[in-house]
Amino acid sequence: MTDLILKQKKVGFIGAGNLAQAIISGLLESGTLQKEQIVVSSRTDKRLKRVEEKFGVQIRDANEKVVDECQIIVVATKPQDFFEAVEPIATSFGPEHTVISLAAGIQLMSLRKILFECENIVRVMANVPVKAKAGMMGYIMAKDSVTSARVVEALFSPLGKVIEIEDEEAMSAFTVGAASGVGFALELMQYWQDWLEGYGISKQDARAIAIQTFIGAGKLAEDNIQLSFYEYIDLIASKKGVTSAGLESMREMDLERALRIAFEKAYIRDRDLGK
């Protein structure tokens, strides 16, 4: 269903790669936008033609045309291509635009500098499960704006959960927890699988057990938000039982400390890359 905020609006995409296509597909499948409302430009004709065939959206042969035609612009290039795409057309952006940057690591300060005529600038950080419509997206706005917040939530909620982040430091923490977090969770799932295989369970089954256990724990926690994770553990782990034996050992070995150090290292790397 179209959020009224997007009614009669055109949404432009500069860059039509993996993330842009995941967003376009989510918007069309959910009925959030009609294909006539989506206008796309990219670096190569080949990519544009493919996107036109796949989604039936409007394509344009220059980024500037997208900016001229649309009220909402999503810049969906890789960070290293961002300035090459936006700098030559920076003066085409004006106060009438809401500009959303998906470029990982490019902070609001840099976006404000380059898009000097724009007030509504939003940086969105998405994680890879957007591809499975189970993404986690965080956004941070250059200026508090109820309109920008509604636009972002309407555009991105078909791909998963969307939350507002207060400042760039919290955005780095979000990046570690949600984006790098997917890598960390997969690493843990590999340990699960390897250990199960050691007891003769087939690779395929061990993989399925690991996946289903993580999904199941997540779903239970989601369905019982009144309980903290620890309170849920207390409900399922009986004293001196099997789960308690494993948890005691994890706590004795200070697994939390090891993970906190890993998170901090990733956080520091994100802050350094953003400079």
Q: Judged by CB under 6 A, which of 27, 111, 126, 136 binds ligand NAP?
A: 126
CB of 107 to ligand NAP, least distance (A): 13
In the shown chain, the binding pattern of residues 189 to 228 toward ligand NAP, with x for contact by CB under 6 A and - for none, equals ----------------------------------------
Binding residue for ligand NAP, selected from 3, 52, 64, 81, defined by CB under 6 A: 81
Minimum gap (Å) between residue 65 Cβ and ligand NAP: 11
The residue sitting closest to ligand NAP, measured at its beta carbon, is 17
Phi and psi torsions of 13, nearest 5°: -115, 120
Place of tokens 């796309």: 40
**Does 155 engage in binding with ligand NAP (CB under 6 A)?**
no
Locus of tokens 């500098």: 113
Closest to ligand NAP by CB, 99 or 104: 104
* Separation of alpha carbons 10 and 7, rounded Å: 9
Q: Which is nearer to ligand NAP, 6 or 73 (CB)?
A: 73
Is the CB of 54 or the CB of 251 nearer to ligand NAP?
54
Nearer to ligand NAP by Cβ, of 80 and 147: the residue is 80
Which of 89, 90, 114, 128 is in the footprint of ligand NAP by CB under 6 A? 128
Distance, in Å, from the CA atom of 111 to the CA atom of 117, rounded to the nearest integer, reads 11
The nearer residue to ligand NAP, 183 or 246, going by C-beta atoms, is: 183
Dihedral of the alpha carbons of 32, 33, 34, 38, in degrees to the nearest 10: -160
Cα 116 to chain centroid, rounded: 26
Contacts 24+ apart (CB under 8 A), 123-127: 123/171, 124/100, 124/152, 124/156, 125/165, 125/171, 125/174, 125/175, 125/178, 125/179, 126/19, 126/102, 126/156, 126/159, 126/179, 127/178, 127/179, 127/181, 127/182
Find the radius of gyration of the CA atoms of the chain.
22
- Quote the CA–CA distance of 212 and 45 in Å, as a whole number: 41
Tell me how many residues contact ligand NAP (CB under 6 A): 28
77, 98, 148, 175: which one contacts ligand NAP (CB under 6 A)?
77
Measured distance CA(275)–CA(258) in Å, rounded: 27
156-185 residues near ligand NAP, rule: CB under 6 A: none
Closest to ligand NAP by CB, 10 or 50: 50
Tell me which residues in 9-68 interact with ligand NAP (CB under 6 A).
Answer: 14-20, 41-44, 47, 63
Q: How far is the CB of 20 from ligand NAP (least distance, A)?
A: 6
Number of Cβ within a 10 Å radius of residue 8: 8
Which residues ranging from 85 to 124 are in contact with ligand NAP (CB under 6 A)?
85, 102-104
Structure tokens at 56: 């039936």
Whether the CB-CB separation of 142 and 164 falls below 8 Å is answered with: no
Least separation in angstroms between residue 129's CB and ligand NAP is 8
Which residues form the interface with ligand NAP (CB under 6 A)? 14-20, 41-44, 47, 63, 76-79, 81, 84-85, 102-104, 126-128, 130-131
